[in-house]
Structure 1
């Protein structure tokens, strides 16, 4: 009897993990672009105001959505590491401004050291400004968790992942991030806390 219970529990666990990994992969392959109140660019590393390759891929995707007329406002998020002259949000705003997006249509939210903290700040800002819908721009494998957090915080959200950059270059890298995000999403669903995966915008 005990053996059956153990085997059953293992099977359920495998189904939960496998199902979550499949959803991470499935959402990563989709682009749910549509008209929204805001496009949210999740932060990643920047160097003296210059976006890293990961952040640049996200900004290029957000700019495309803006130029396609799907939003009037872009919200950039992300704080700073000790010694940084710019926050990730400021570096993103600087890049977008340089590409012709009016400064008053870019809102930089420079709080939050991980995805959950950033999305909480964006949700609070959205409530203040009367925004109710968002497209989340991040890496493909990060999209489901970021979208889930935003929806849980009351902001109706969809994902429009960046399709370029180092995170999507090889199958080995893709597989590693799918595994990582599967664990982080399961942790969030169990605890409603961040997995604290910092350093590359996947916290």
Structure 2
């Protein structure tokens, strides 16, 4: 006997409904990700740096006490902003690094700034955070302690749209400032960076913070 609920016995109206539902969900997903993509690109292409209380450099990888090319570019941008008088203090963010050596992204950033003319008492190194979310949380604590009202945040251009949302949620008023490009970036690498940010931003907005997704989307503090 044929099961009344089998696909063969579903009514044409039921199949049409499912097709329309899938189509609507697809269109919603396309519209959402199209908007996120556009906002990521728009934020990445605009430098909003202006007079503030501090400059915050988001961490990236360090290699044996030396900044990776990405972190190097972010720190160079912070040095340039500091030299322009944008803000009197620079905050370097990021733990991570090599546990055996004791190096951290924030500590390596501090050393780089010192070597490039930023005085020691004008640098605050945060060395405990392990991802973007924690960097923002710790930046908020520093801002409260130091009475920073406005902060220029420096990172990769594609990273800044998500950072801006996290900062707003943490009660921070920030201006985004992208680092300079690193030579030629191939299309695949650029696509991977944007896809990572699109998924991370979507997870953040919709509260998809299951531990497996958090580890997948935020495997490093980038």
TM-score by length of 1: 0.92
Q: Is the 8 A contact 2:59 2:71 kept in 1?
A: yes
Alignment partner of 1:137 is 2:154: yes
Alignment partner of 1:19 is 2:31: no
Deviation (angstroms), 1:192:
7.1
Say what the alpha-carbon RMSD is for the aligned residues.
1.7
Counterpart in the other structure of 1:126? 143
Unaligned runs of 5+ in 1: none
Q: Structure 2 residue aligned with 1:57, among 68, 73, 81?
A: 73
Deviation (angstroms), 1:18:
1.2
Superposed counterparts of 1:1-203, under 5 Å:
1-81=17-97, 82-165=99-182, 169-191=185-207, 193=209, 195-196=214-215, 197-199=218-220, 201-202=221-222
Counterpart in the other structure of 2:11? none
Q: Is the 8 A contact 2:155 2:177 kept in 1?
A: yes
- Deviation digits for residues 94-148 of structure 1, max 9, x if unmatched? 0101111111110001111000001100101101111121111111111111121
- SS of corresponding position for 1:96: helix
How many equivalent residue pairs?
200
Distance 1:139 1:60 in 2: 12
TM-score by length of 2: 0.84
Which has more radius of gyration?
A: 2
